[in-house]
Structure 1
Amino acid sequence: MEGVEHRTVEVNGIKMHVAEKGEGPVVLFLHGFPELWYSWRHQILALSSRGYRAVAPDLRGYGDTEAPESISSYTIMHLVGDIVALIDSLGVGQVFLVAHDWGAIVGWYLCLFRPEKIKAYVCLSVPFMPRNPKVRPVDAMRALYGDDYYICGFQEPGKAEALYGSNNNIGEVIKSILTNRRPGPPILPKEGVALPSGSLPSRPLPSWLSEEDVTYYASKFSKTGLTGGLNYYRNLNLNWELTAAWTGAKVKVPVKFITGDLDVVYTSLGIKDYIDSGAFKRDVPYLEEVVVQEGVAHFNNQEAAEDISNHIYDFINKF
Structure 2
Amino acid sequence: MADITHRRVRTNGIWMHIAEKGDGPLALLIHGFPEIWSTWKHQIHRLAEHGYRVVAPDMRGYGDSDCPADPASYTILHLVGDLVGLIDALGQDQAYVVGHDWGAEVAWHLCLLRPDKVKALVNLSVPYRPRSPQSKPVEYMAEKFGDGFYITQFQEPGRAEKSFAKYDCLTVLKKFLLVNGPDLLAAPRGIEIIDFLETPDSWPSWTTEEELQYKAEKFRSSGFTGALNYYRAMDRNWELLGPWQGAKITVPTKLITGDKDVGFQSFGTKSYIESEFLKGLVPGLQVLVIDGHHFIQQERAELVSAEILSFFGKRSGN
Q: Pick the TM interval, shorter chain.
A: over 0.9
Whether the 8 Å contact between 2:61 and 2:68 is mirrored in structure 1 is yes
Equivalent position amino acid for 2:294 in 1: H
Cross-structure match for 2:77: 77
List alignment gaps of at least 5 residues for structure 2: none
User: Could you list the runs of 4 or more consecutive aligned residues of structure 1 that deviate by over 6 angstroms after TM superposition?
Assistant: none
TM-superposed CA distance for 1:192, in Å, is 3.6
Whether the 8 Å contact between 1:164 and 1:192 is mirrored in structure 2 is no
SS at match of 2:96: strand
How well do the aligned residues superpose, as a CA RMSD in angstroms? 1.6
Equivalent position amino acid for 1:210 in 2: T
Give the counterpart of 1:299 among 276, 295, 299.
Answer: 295
Cross-structure match for 2:210: 212
Whether the 8 Å contact between 2:50 and 2:314 is mirrored in structure 1 is no
SS at match of 2:266: coil
Whether the 8 Å contact between 1:149 and 1:186 is mirrored in structure 2 is yes
Instruction: Tell me how far apart the structure 2 counterparts of residues 143 and 269 of structure 1 sit (CA, whole Å).
Output: 15
Instruction: Tell me how far apart the structure 1 counterparts of residues 41 and 311 of structure 2 sit (CA, whole Å).
Output: 19
Q: Judging changes above 3 Å, is the alpha-carbon distance between structure 1 residues 99 and 201 closer, same or farther for their aligned structure 2 residues?
A: closer
TM-superposed CA distance for 1:318, in Å, is 7.5
Cross-structure match for 2:65: 65
TM-superposed CA distance for 1:188, in Å, is 3.4
Equivalent position amino acid for 2:302 in 1: E
Moved more, 140-149 or 86-95: 140-149
Instruction: Tell me how far apart the structure 2 counterparts of residues 49 and 228 of structure 1 sit (CA, whole Å).
Output: 33
SS at match of 2:310: helix
TM-superposed CA distance for 1:127, in Å, is 0.7
Give the counterpart of 1:235 among 228, 233, 238.
Answer: 233
Cross-structure match for 1:144: 144
Instruction: Tell me how far apart the structure 2 counterparts of residues 256 and 141 of structure 1 sit (CA, whole Å).
Output: 27
Instruction: Tell me how far apart the structure 2 counterparts of residues 108 and 144 of structure 1 sit (CA, whole Å).
Output: 25
After TM superposition, the score normalised by the length of structure 2 is 0.95
TM-superposed CA distance for 1:191, in Å, is 4.0
> Which residues in structure 2 correspond to 1:152-301 (within 5 Å)?
152-166=152-166, 169-188=168-187, 190-194=191-195, 201-287=199-285, 289-294=286-291, 296-301=292-297
Instruction: Tell me how far apart the structure 1 counterparts of residues 127 and 70 of structure 2 sit (CA, whole Å).
Output: 28
SS at match of 2:42: helix
SS at match of 1:193: helix
> Which residues in structure 2 correspond to 1:53-132 (within 5 Å)?
53-132=53-132
Instruction: Tell me how far apart the structure 2 counterparts of residues 188 and 91 of structure 1 sit (CA, whole Å).
Output: 46
Equivalent position amino acid for 2:161 in 1: E
List alignment gaps of at least 5 residues for structure 1: none
After TM superposition, the score normalised by the length of structure 1 is 0.95
Equivalent position amino acid for 1:301 in 2: Q
